[in-house]
Structure formats: structure tokens, C-alpha cells
Amino acid sequence: MSVDEALAHLRGAGESELPSVTLDHLRAERTGFPEVIYCPGKRDDEVAAIAARLAASSGRFLATRATPEQYAAVRAQVPEARYDSDACAIVFETEALPRVGLVCVVSAGTSDRPVAAEAACALDVMGNTIARVDDVGVAGLHRVLGHVGALRTANAVVAVAGMDGALPGVIAGLTDRPVIAVPTSVGYGASFGGLAALLTMLNACAGGVSVVNIDNGFGAACVASRINHLAASRADDRGPAR
């Protein structure tokens, strides 16, 4: 290919796209959900343009870590989009997916709520039934022990914790369901922005724990939704769970 041909090819490939954006239109087919918009570092008008494009092509979108200003820009183009202020997420769906199975979202402290909310919001729009259990850290063990029934019923548990990050390991010792651990940046000093909780979770003595990035409620939701749909879609073929 000559230099001129290469430049022509690139110009052509970009014509059907937004500037600086290359949408992955086949992601829903490959991975089960359309491309999600990660808002930080994008201008308000970029977020809005991508959202409008996805709304048109997929009938649904999720934008995470969105500011109210970004939401305003989106709503100007997609008026039906709604804003989950706890999760800082923008959601749009022309037709809601059926909510199936059960994912339990557990948090260790009230300060972890924004991350748990992001997980719950993403799980919801991805079509999962959700149960929330908040503020049940290991400093008062009876609080999490009181929810063992639910932890053994869900297809997956998303366990959110900052500071010492001990909760997911304790949960994994109480259930045979997969536990997706989400460290949060809640804490100070030697929490090093969530590093302490992350390391705790990676070193959990109990089996069945896997970990996502610090504060990544969305990422945990992706994993849990894949598991829950796998279990639930098969269960759907045979009738209700027993």
C-alpha cells in the first residue's frame, strides 16, 4: 500500500464514524451487551453524540461515571435517557430486557454505596434481578451472617468493600456461589486509594473469590451478569429454580 493509498483508506474508514470515535457495532452480538460509554476524559458533546448513535443502533445504552453536565448534553439528544445520581450513570432503553436470575450486591459500609450503586444500575439494565445488602462489614459479623440464606440463593454475589476489604473472603467461606469482589477507594492513609482492599481480596484465603479493579462496580456487574445469564437462561429452559 502506498502512503497516498493508506491516507485515502483511513479517510474513507472514518467517514461513517464520529470524529475520534470508532464504535464497535457488533459488541452485543459477541459479548451480550452493546458498547458502554466511559465518560471521564470525553467532552460533553462527544458523550452525547456517542449516546445518540448507540440509541439509534442498539435501542439501549449505558454511560458510566457521567457528570450532571454530561447528562444534560445527552438528554438534549435522547430525551428519554435517565440519570441514576447514586451511580452517576446515564441509562436508556427503548424496551427493558427481562430481569432474570438473582445477583446479590453486598457492601461493607455506607461510604461504599456509590460503587455498589454502579454495580446495581449496570446489572439492572443488563437484565438481572438484584438483591441489595448494605453496611454489613466484618467488624460486626452478625450482620452478614444474618443474610446467609440470600448469599446461598443468588447465582453470583458482588461484594463491595473498602479499607480492609475483608468482606468478600468471609462471604466466600459461607456460600458455594461465585463471589466477585470490588475493592473501593474508601479509606485513607495506608489504604492507598483502595490498594489495601485490592490486595486483601486477591489474597483471600477462601476459594471462589475473583476481583475487579478498584471502584469498578460496572466491571463486577459485567462478570456477574455473564454468570447469572448463563445459569438463568439454562434454568429458564427447565422451569423455575429449586
Give residues 75-134 in contact with a copy of itself (rule: CB under 8 A): 101-102, 104, 107-114, 129, 131-134
b or e along 70-109 (b: 16 or more beta carbons within 10 Å of the residue's beta carbon)?
Answer: bbebbbeebeebebbeebbbbbbbeeeeeebbbbbbbbbb
Q: How far is the CB of 123 from a copy of itself (least distance, A)?
A: 12
Give the shortest CB-133-to-a copy of itself separation in angstroms.
Answer: 6
Pick from 36, 91, 125, 160 the residue near a copy of itself by CB under 8 A.
36
192 contacts a copy of itself (rule: CB under 8 A): yes
Enumerate residues 130-169 that contact a copy of itself by CB under 8 A.
Answer: 131-143, 145-147, 149-150, 152-155, 163-166, 169
Spell out the long-range contacts of 33-36 with Cβ–Cβ below 8 A and sequence spacing 24 or more: 33/62, 33/126, 33/222, 33/225, 34/58, 34/60, 34/61, 36/61, 36/62, 36/63, 36/64, 36/122, 36/218
**Closest CB to a copy of itself among residues 91, 154:** 154
Closest by CA position to 171, among listed 89, 97, 107: 107
Stretch that binds a copy of itself, among 52-60, 72-80, 90-98, 200-208 (CB under 8 A): 200-208
* Nearest distance in Å: CB 156, a copy of itself: 8
CB of 194 to a copy of itself, least distance (A): 6
The residue whose grid cell reads 437462561 is: 233
Q: What angle do CA 52, 56, 57 make, to 5 degrees?
A: 120
Least Å from the CB of residue 76 to a copy of itself: 19
Member of 16, 41, 79, 95 binding a copy of itself (CB under 8 A): 41
Task: Give me the least distance between CB of 120 and a copy of itself, in Å please.
Answer: 11
Helix (H) or strand (E) holding 47: helix 44-58
Q: Among 53-61, 73-81, 88-96, 233-241, which window interacts with a copy of itself (CB under 8 A)?
A: 233-241
- Binding residue count for a copy of itself, defined by CB under 8 A: 127
Q: What is the total residue count of the chain?
A: 242
